[in-house]
Every structure is written in C-alpha cells, then in structure tokens.
Amino acid sequence: MHSRPACRRCINSVLRKTTYPNYEIIVVDNQTSEPRARRYLGRLRGISNIRVMRYDQPFNYSAINNMAAAAATGDVLCLLNNDTEVITPNWLQDMLGYLQQKDVGVVGARLLYPDGTLQHAGILLHPRDIAVHINAGLFKRETGYFGRAVLAQDFMAVTGACLMVWKHVYEKVGGLDAEHLPVAFNDVDFCLRVREAGLRVVWTPFAELYHHESLSRGKLQSTASQRHFRRERRYMRRRWDELLESDPFYNPNLSLERPDFSLSEQPRVKPPWRVHY
C-alpha cells in the first residue's frame, strides 16, 4: 500500500455507503513506510470489522490477494483495489444476487474513471494485447453496441479491481497465479480457470464504483516492470493461446484492431456462400 489518500477514500466509501451489513474488510499492508500512512493503518486496527495484515515482500498482487483470501472468514470474497471508490450503495447485494445463481463463479462490477467515462464493462480476450476493456471511454449514460454497456452479461473475464467469487471456488482453482502472474493478467487467467471449471463469469452494470486506476502503484514504466509485463504476456499466450484467438462473446465479424464493435475489414469467418462442403 503506497497511497494513503487512495486507501482512505476506498475504505471510507465502503464503510459509509455500503448498505449490505455482513462484511469484513482485510487491508494488506505491503511494506508501508510513510509515517502518516502507518498511523492511518494503526487507526484502522481499532475498527471492529477491519483487519490489517502485513505482506513484507516485494509487490506481488496475486500473492497479496491469496494471503487475504486465506484469512477471510466469509463464504464470499470480493477482491477490491485500494484505488476504487463505491458509488452505488447496493453494490454488494447486486453482485451477490448474480453469484447466487448456481452456475455463476465470478461477478465483476461496472467501473468508471473519475471524469465519469467508462473504464471497465467486461474484458475481451485479444490475440495481440491478451485482454482489452470493452466499451472503455464511453460516457456514463451511453448504452454502447446493442446496449452492452448497460446490460448484465457473460464474459470470459472481468477485472480483479472489483471481483466477487465464492471462497470455495477461489480455493478450488488455486487462487491467483502468484508464480507466473504476480502483477499483470492474473485476474484474466483466474477467470479463465473458473470458466474451465465449468462456471460462468458475469458482469453487472448495477454495481458501480470509481476506479482511480493505478494511483497506488503507478503505470508500468521502469525497464524492470516492462520486462515483467512481457514475461507475463508470453505466459498468457502459452497458456490460453486458442481462447485468445477467438473470444466467444465478441462476434468474429467485428474488428480486433479497434475493439469497439465496429465491423472488421477482414472478418475472421468465411461467408457461408463461400464455404465448400
């Protein structure tokens, strides 16, 4: 945790706005050294439904979440980045409602940038970029292609910035991959393994949060970060190559060069009148 204001905004929004009462918050302190941040963490320890755990190793998003998941006492986990902020008070109820369906394993939320534009409305698997956010950049009230920016639907993956999952499902598939994917694509890989186990991944537009993206970690800029990112991208290509080439929730007649639901100049299917049997 490197951004006290971001963490405070996130936790305050959960405590003040969330109408569902039965939850605990587990905050993972990843080598916080700034004095004011440490004092804030100390104050959090005095709140009955908040626990602060320390992860005293280099940043590993997967390992951090796995440690917190193992310590959680509830039946349901909600992975939540510390740079998010609750908008809709019933966000937990809405996500839990979809998770109650017997064949649903993961539920993702609708995330907005602070300026009100859309940041996350589901993830498209992509042969070059591995994963891209569908409808990113739309204004909040825009409905998108056939209403897909405002309708609950299945996806291959949703972002781990706000992701709900049954704890037994999380444990069954082995949690996030801390060995191969410590920073990037771990949420996508996790969702694909949940689907591989026979469960659905659902996105709901009715659970809304702001995502002050990467405020706590910053963008991948250093040479070492870029090197780690390339390694994780190569792993994803080896592990999920066939799926990356053909996401079933994105029409093969639509463009991958501009993943905005525009028609492709080179459709990935042959017209039926050109198919020879």
Q: Contact at 8 Å (CB) between 171 and 140?
A: no
Token digits of residue 226: 């870029």
* Residue 146 DSSP symbol: G
What local confidence, expressed as pLDDT, does residue 221 receive? Answer: 59
In sequence order, the 6+-apart residues with CB closer than 8 A to the CB of 59 are 30, 182, 183, 217
Q: How far apart are alpha carbons 224 and 212 in whole angstroms?
A: 24
Q: How far apart are alpha carbons 86 and 73 in whole angstroms?
A: 22
What local confidence, expressed as pLDDT, does residue 172 receive? Answer: 98
Which of 189, 188, 175, 192 minimizes the C-alpha distance to 65?
175
Q: How far apart are alpha carbons 241 and 257 in whole angstroms?
A: 18
Whether the model clears a pTM of 0.95, i.e. scores above it, the answer is no
Q: How far apart are alpha carbons 217 and 60 in whole angstroms?
A: 11
Question: What parts of the chain have a pLDDT lower than 70?
Answer: 1-4, 214-222, 271-277
Of the chain, the end-to-end C-alpha distance in Å amounts to 59
